[in-house]
Amino acid sequence: MTDNKVLRRAVLLFAIGMAAVDPAAAKSGVGGGGHSHLWIFVIALILIGLLARRMRGPASHRWRRRQARTMNRQLSGRDRDQPPGFVFARLRGMDPLAFEELLLECFERRGCKVVRNTRYTGDGGLDGQVVIQGQTWLIQAKRYATSIRPEHVDAFAALCRARKVSGLFIHTGRTGPTTRALVERHDHIEIISGERLLALIHGGAIMIRGMSL
């Protein structure tokens, strides 16, 4: 639910509550005064509950998106020429969910349609979706400090196959020979790491299955 919808619902509930109050009874103090106070109390509780629910998860979304946008601006601007090792260290030091947001921001800035998860947990290993020239790709983001774990790629490949779409496995580590052989068997999965990941973040040219971004 958006902030505007929450506000409209709150105003509607308040209006309904006030309409239920009998002004004459409230003024005379016969029965109506207590009734009006009860209505106001109930409405206040409902509004507090709605606003509290709205501010829990989505607030963390907004914070992480701000962090991702800041990192995106820095790495595609003033920090574009930083050494790769330093850039990867910064990426690995990010909040993992903000790193996911950073990748989605990078695709969004290239004009791609991005589909974000409605929540950060319980996504079944899916970190978002991107539409590239009409083709939907699932995204999984991993902040590896060492070699990639082949079982992660295998599980992601199974998820993409179940949904009958392709997938982008994007990570900050090293892709070892075992994983490369695994990806060759999963032709619906593409790995983005190393120089290609830097190009994605810096705003440079990058090709995905013959499609230029």
DSSP class per residue in 14-63: HHHHHHTS-HHHHHHTSSHHHHHHHHHHHHHHHHHHHHHHHHSHHHHHHH
Instruction: Quote the mean pLDDT of the chain.
Output: 80
Q: Are 183 and 189 in contact (CB under 8 A)?
A: yes
- Residues 90-144 have pLDDT tens digits of 999 999 999 999 999 999 999 999 998 876 554 456 899 999 999 999 999 999 9
CA distance 191 to 153: 9
Q: Report the C-alpha gap between 57 and 169 in whole angstroms.
A: 25
Q: Amino acid identity, residue 180?
A: R
d(CA 20, CA 195): 65
**pLDDT of 194 strictly over 60:** yes
Q: What is the CATH number of domain 66-212?
A: 3.40.1350.10
**What torsion do the CA atoms of 120, 126, 130, 134 make, to the nearest 10 degrees?**
-140
What pLDDT score was predicted for residue 202?
92
Distance CA 87, CA 138 (A): 24
Strand partners, 211: 208
pLDDT digits (tens, 9 = 90+) for 67-85: 899 999 999 899 999 999 9
Domain boundaries, the chain: 3-55, 66-212
- Greatest CA separation for the chain: 85
Neighbours of 62 (CB within 10 A): 10
